[in-house]
């Protein structure tokens, strides 16, 4: 009896955890992602290696450590986030970032900061998954 109650509590805790922090698992559509890149990201980001526009190139973004992109002067908020918590971009982080850039950088920095990408808000999960699927092809 006690054991099964414990088991129940444990599985409820696991389920709760999974709801609180969903891992990135969505399968995106590369062609749709490329279209979305063209309308939402291309004005500021090249996909050619080391070509900077307003922001750094998105070529081989996954695994890139924050603050290491070629020729880029990062914003104050980005630098604060990267210093507080050095991270390398993975799918889950890019997913969170392009949903709400200033909110993401504030969370990473541990204090309120802005982002030059604050106007970018890809609200639809499917659309973010498509963009990520496209970005994954750039390597």
Tell me: does residue 92 bind ligand HEC (CB under 6 A): no
What is the C-alpha separation between 81 and 76, in angstroms, rounded?
9
What is the C-alpha separation between 16 and 9, in angstroms, rounded?
10
The encoded tokens of residue 51 equal 């070509």
Q: Which of 47, 100, 117, 129 binds ligand HEC (CB under 6 A)?
A: 117
How many Cβ atoms are within 10 Å of 40's Cβ, its own excluded?
A: 16
Interface with ligand HEC in residues 41-70 (CB under 6 A)? 41, 43-45, 54-56, 58, 61, 64, 66, 69
Q: Smaller CB distance to ligand HEC: residue 6 or 53?
A: 53
Q: Smaller CB distance to ligand HEC: residue 117 or 133?
A: 117
Least distance (Å) between residue 68 CB and ligand HEC: 7
Q: What are phi and psi of 126, to 5 degrees?
A: -60, -40
Stretch that binds ligand HEC, among 8-16, 19-27, 74-82 (CB under 6 A): 74-82
Q: Report the greatest alpha carbon distance in the chain.
A: 63
What is the C-alpha separation between 70 and 60, in angstroms, rounded?
12
Cα 110 to the center of its chain, rounded Å: 17
Least distance (Å) between residue 57 CB and ligand HEC: 8
Least distance (Å) between residue 104 CB and ligand HEC: 10
Instruction: Determine the straight-line distance between the first and last CA of the chain, rounded to whole angstroms.
Output: 54
List residues near ligand HEC by CB under 6 A: 40-41, 43-45, 54-56, 58, 61, 64, 66, 69, 74-75, 77-78, 89, 94, 97-98, 115-117, 120, 122, 131
């Amino acid at each position: 009896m006690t054991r099964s109650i414990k088991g129940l509590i444990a599985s409820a805790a696991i389920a709760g955890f999974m709801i609180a922090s969903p891992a990135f698992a969505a399968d995106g559509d590369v062609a749709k992602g490329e279209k979305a890149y063209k309308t939402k990201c291309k004005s500021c980001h090249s996909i050619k290696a080391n070509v900077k526009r307003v922001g750094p190139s998105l070529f081989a973004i996954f695994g890139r450590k924050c603050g290491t992109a070629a020729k880029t002067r990062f914003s104050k908020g980005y630098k604060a986030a990267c210093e507080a918590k050095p991270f390398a971009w993975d799918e889950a982080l890019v997913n969170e970032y392009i949903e709400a850039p200033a909110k993401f950088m504030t969370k990473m920095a541990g204090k309120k900061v802005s982002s030059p990408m604050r106007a970018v808000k890809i609200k639809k999960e499917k659309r973010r998954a498509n963009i990520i699927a496209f970005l994954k092809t750039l390597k």
